[in-house]
């Protein structure tokens, strides 16, 4: 899961602004999956952008660090990603 890591080690969900992609590239970089209440969840292409303060973490190590809905969304995202990689239709 791609997260923003503060200087104090605190982890939080990034925004599109944190990714620093040009707006015209976003449809190629992020695919909308679903919403949890009002929060959209996107699947990134797997390459970490060269942005300071952002890095990927294993989802299993984030339980208790992120809000429950974000942990659930990350695990669901992971399952959807695996399914998309292994299925053509």
Cα–Cα dist 89/83, whole Å: 10
pLDDT digits (tens, 9 = 90+) for 46-66: 665 566 788 888 877 777 777
Q: Which residues contact 66 (CB under 8 A, 6 or more apart)?
A: 3, 11, 13, 74
The model scores a pTM over 0.95 = no
**Domain residue ranges of the chain, discontinuous segments joined by +:** 2-86
For the chain, residues with pLDDT lower than 70 are: 21-23, 25-28, 45-51
């Amino acid at each position: 899961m791609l997260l923003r890591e503060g200087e104090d080690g605190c982890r939080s969900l990034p925004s599109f602004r944190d990714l620093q992609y040009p707006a015209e590239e976003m449809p190629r970089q992020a695919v909308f999956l679903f919403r949890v209440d009002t929060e959209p969840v996107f699947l990134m292409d797997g390459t970490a952008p060269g942005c300071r303060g952002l890095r990927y973490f294993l989802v299993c190590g984030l339980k208790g660090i992120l809000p429950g809905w974000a942990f659930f969304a990350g695990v669901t995202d992971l399952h959807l990603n695996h399914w998309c990689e292994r299925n053509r239709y």
